[in-house]
Amino acid sequence: MEKPKLVLIGNGMAGVRTLEELLKLAPDQYEITVFGAEPHPNYNRILLSPVLAGEMQVQDIILNGLDWYAEHGIQLHTGKTVTQIDRVRRVVIADDGTEARYDRLLIATGSTPFMLPIPGRQLPGVIGYRDIKDTDEMIAAASQYRHAVVIGGGLLGLEAANGLKLRGMDVTVVHIGPWLLERQLDEVAGKMLQQSLEDKGLKFLLSKQTEALLPAPDGGPEGRVGAVRFKDGLQIPADLVVMAAGIRPNYALAEAAGIHCNRGIVVSDTMQTYDPRVYAVGECVSHRGIAYGLVAPLFEQAKVAANHLASHGIGRYQGSVTSTKLKVTGIDLFSAGDFQGGQDDAEEITLNDPHGGVYKKLIVKDNKLVGGVLYGDTADGPWYFQLLKDGRDIHELRDSLIFGQSQVGDVGHAGNSKAAEMADSAEVCGCNGVSKGKICQAIKEKGLFSLDEVKKHTKAASSCGSCAGLVEQILASTIGGAYTPAKLDSKPVCGCTEHSHKAVREAIVAQRLTSKEAVFDFLEWKTPNGCDKCRPAINYYLISSWPHEAKDDPQSRLINERAHANIQKDGTYSVVPRMWGGLTTPAELRAIADAAEKYQVPTVKVTGGQRIDLLGIKKEDLPAIWADLNAAGMVSGHAYGKSIRTVKTCVGAEHCRFGTQLAMDMGVKLEKMLFDMYAPHKVKLAVSGCPRNCAEAGIKDVGVIGVDSGYELYVGGNGGIKTEVAQFLCKVRTDEEVMEYAGAFLQLYREQGWYLERTCHWLERVGLDAVKRQVVDDAAGRQALYARLLDSLKDAKDPWQTSRETQPVKQFIPIKLEA
């Protein structure tokens, strides 16, 4: 018998959560088709801010990978926008002509950013902040431009501003209100937040109305935005304008189909529209005149919609009492109910410690807590929210209420953990509506022992993650001594496997696995071909563990490594020839100039790594331009690779009157030794000829600083979004020792580091002392590491020369330096 067809329009968090709930209740009831306008599977939109800030990558925020859809027999159409709902034929039609028939239709089209209706809003460089595409545009802009203006002082605006600031932009937040987050905070908390953010380098213009966006005078033919003008006449520079002034329910598709809408798709308590075959959930919905923008109410709607789609018919959504628990750039905030106060029949209880960064205000009316706002210390937020929802008489708690749950005598013993004192009915995860009782039940019934297991079975801490600490407390109090905090090395590589990076690497070495197929087979991979997260990692582990036996798989490398160039935002590529130690010759400069003219390269730039970058090259020209550069003796600078990038040098004792060592000579030796070294992540070195450190060796993966008696070696530096200062490793006397110690350190990193783990994070995980024991203290071990490095690199060749008979790259482009 043919199954009825369910079509979901919108592949976001609310719609897919409805499918998850439905599959629990009736896993085989429907043949399901999903249309998503974005080219991605379902992801956590809440975590776009950490992606913008560089703390996470897109693959880290995927909630349901492609394998999940396949596992449940769901046909997924990504990158297809539904443009028409034909309710007579019961068919939806996408922009590319794809059609899907439905017996039941679920609309979850979400919302769209509100773009201020002002002149200039269509200029290039003016964007909203809603999805991965917007995030990618901001990251790209931050790498090219200086001034950013964020319009809107709400949560999204502040997160966007913080991320852009971390990426090096000069950021001004413009807000029409008198204080930040006025819907979540009162004036005192809002001003405290502003001061904290100003201390981080953000600028604010409050009570400002934007009048127009102006093109830059030199904005090129596309007329990129260049300034923001306000109604009071003030004008500020803006190379990027991010509109974060609110959202609007996206209901145009439903309205065009004749479905009743009123500032959203109007639904009943069963989440049905006026057409009983059509349901709607999420930010596109208007329920009892309210459109919700928080995750928790949307997930409550999802549960009710799934109940009725499964034909259970007993769920009712009657609206949500909401609280807001936020973490804005590391600052904890909480608010619930009527937190503004000011009513004649209500009293305010406040605790204000500006120097300590803590502020609490509770609103009490008729001996009941009706609202509250917390800044800096939000640990008691869930307890206050439970009191508010329960409408509990707090008369006996009144004197100690502001000091939190642990100070109130009727809820437990002082000194117990917050989790132990909570009632089973208390809500732990506001995003997913998960109580303490539900978590405890899952822990006991399913034998859960880790935070990841609790996330998987209950969804607690799986959205914004702000309750993760409390969930871990519940784990500890429920299973006692059986609980140990999750270790970093136990996290699965990806959704294709339960095995960690550590386990995969150990299996490859112990079982002498030399191909990804062998890895998949031995470790019983869930998917036959892996995914774009695990394949590059396994490829690295294979060729770093067995350099002469495992075959490098180009299709398991990222696009930049396959093209041997950096793809740019317009689809062209960037080519960076190597300049050993930052040195070049007139012949090389002539070859670069000839190539730039021949291939009409629009931009030629000196990089921060002392090389020359040719930007704007067409993909089809890459083989030819590299052939021309190779003919002149120039090889790839690997500016695209998880590999050795550059060895930056100062002029050293070769020329500088302060130089104590031959920095350029040492840099060239190191770079030639390490050429084509594949690593867990990019690796950068620097050699400074004296302690003045002009080559910035203190923020490199390996930094070498010349002193009178030899060299000092520093490791684990990183000049990225979050600057990490390199740590002192040892002091050596000769060039040969520099190469041996640096080479041994890098080989240890290659053998122990996880894919996409920088040296600073690897050192944080394993400890500098452990590295010193193996590289500095153990001479035999160091020499063995160094020998393995040299052995793995002995046949290194330029990637574009692999099809031709050439000498290994270490034998050509000899550079002789004299003091």
**Cα torsion through 274, 280, 281, 284, rounded to 10:** -90
Q: Is 513 helix (H, G, I), strand (E, B) or coil?
A: coil
Query: What are residue 707's DSSP bridge partners?
Result: 710
Distance CA 8, CA 72 (A): 14
The residue type of 195 is: Q
Distant-in-sequence, close-in-space partners of 82: CB < 8 Å, separation ≥ 6: 9, 35, 92, 93, 94, 95, 253
650 marked ligand binding residue:
yes
Nearest CA among 479, 380, 460 for reference residue 421: 380
Instruction: Compute φ and ψ for 591, nearest 5 degrees.
Output: -65, -40
- Residue 284 labelled as part of a binding site: no
First to last CA, the chain: 86
- Closest residue by Cα to residue 354 from 200, 195, 204, 180: 195
Q: How far apart, in Å, are the Cα atoms of 79 and each of 256, 277, 307, 432? A: 21, 25, 29, 27
Give 522-581 as a 3 state SS string.
HCCCCCCCCCCCHHHHHHHHHHHHCCCCCCCCHHHCCHHHHHCCEECCCCCEEECECCHH
Q: In degrees to the nearest 10, what's the CA dihedral of 314, 317, 323, 326?
A: 90
- For the CA atoms of the chain, what is the radius of gyration? 30
> Where do we find the tokens 């600078």?
637
For the beta carbon of residue 809, count every other beta carbon within 10 angstroms.
19
556 neighbors 536 (Cβ within 8 angstroms): yes
380 closest CA partner among 418, 348, 413: 418
656: annotated binding-site residue?
yes
Q: Which two tokens stand for residue 769?
A: 């002392």
Backbone φ and ψ for 288, nearest 5 degrees, come out as: 55, 35
3-state helix, strand, coil in the chain (%, to 5): 35, 25, 40
Distance CA 684, CA 689 (A): 17
603: β partners:
615
464 annotated among ligand-binding-site residues: no
CA-to-CA distance for 535 and 519, rounded, in angstroms? 10
Residue 48 to residue 29: CA distance in whole angstroms: 34
Q: Which residues are known binding-site members for siroheme?
A: 694
Q: Which residues are known binding-site members for [4Fe-4S] cluster?
A: 650, 656, 690, 694
Q: Which residues are known binding-site members?
A: 650, 656, 690, 694
